């Protein structure tokens, strides 16, 4: 999670909400890939940290199945990323801060563990949640976009 936090910090340079992700190989320690939110930087609505990290991990492995891998992300995945994580067949999703307003790994929805789906990764939440949330609250406090309120919504 420390690596994901460092990755999250890189998002701010591109004007993006600080969310970072890393994909760990099946051994649980080798970092296959990392990513941070690049939606503003690239103008790509799907450029969330998780999507970028799993794309890079798959490219590194040379196949789309990330079986055995763990994705670590600083903020609870949204519905898009939760869907991508299910599709990638990762074994484990570890997240930091909960996203009560848009989280899809247990807060608002639980897409990753939906019993109707064939693949359901294990979910471990609330890992260093205060550190992960602090990055977001600091970012929104300093962002002119949120001066009109709604400052706690991590709308990345
Ligand atoms: Zn997402």
25 CA distance to ligand 1 middle (Å): 21
Q: 98: CA distance to ligand 1 center in Å?
A: 13
Residue 156 has pLDDT above 60, yes or no: yes
Give the pLDDT confidence score for residue 151 in this predicted structure. 45
Q: Is the pLDDT assigned to residue 152 strictly greater than 70?
A: no
Task: Give this prediction's pTM.
Answer: 0.91
The catalytic residues are 50
113, 95 Cβ separation under 8 angstroms: no
Say yes or no to pLDDT of 137 above 70.
yes
CA 18 centroid distance within chain: 10
Region 93-105: mean pLDDT is: 97
Residues 6+ apart with CB under 8 A from 123: 92, 93, 94, 95, 105, 106, 112, 113
């Amino acid at each position: 999670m420390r690596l994901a936090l460092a990755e999250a910090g890189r998002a701010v340079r591109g004007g993006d909400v600080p969310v970072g992700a890393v994909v760990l190989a099946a051994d649980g320690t080798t970092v296959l890939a990392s990513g941070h939110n690049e939606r503003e930087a690239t103008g790509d609505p799907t450029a969330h940290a998780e999507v970028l990290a799993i794309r890079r991990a798959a490219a590194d492995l040379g196949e789309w199945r990330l079986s055995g891998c763990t994705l670590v992300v600083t903020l609870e995945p949204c519905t898009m990323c939760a869907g991508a994580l299910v599709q990638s067949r990762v074994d484990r999703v570890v997240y930091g801060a909960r996203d009560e307003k848009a989280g899809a790994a247990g807060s608002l929805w639980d897409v990753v563990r939906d019993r109707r789906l064939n693949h359901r990764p294990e979910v471990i939440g609330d890992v260093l949640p205060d550190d992960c949330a602090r990055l977001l609250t600091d970012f929104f406090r300093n962002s002119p976009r949120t001066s009109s309120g709604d400052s706690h919504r991590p709308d990345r």
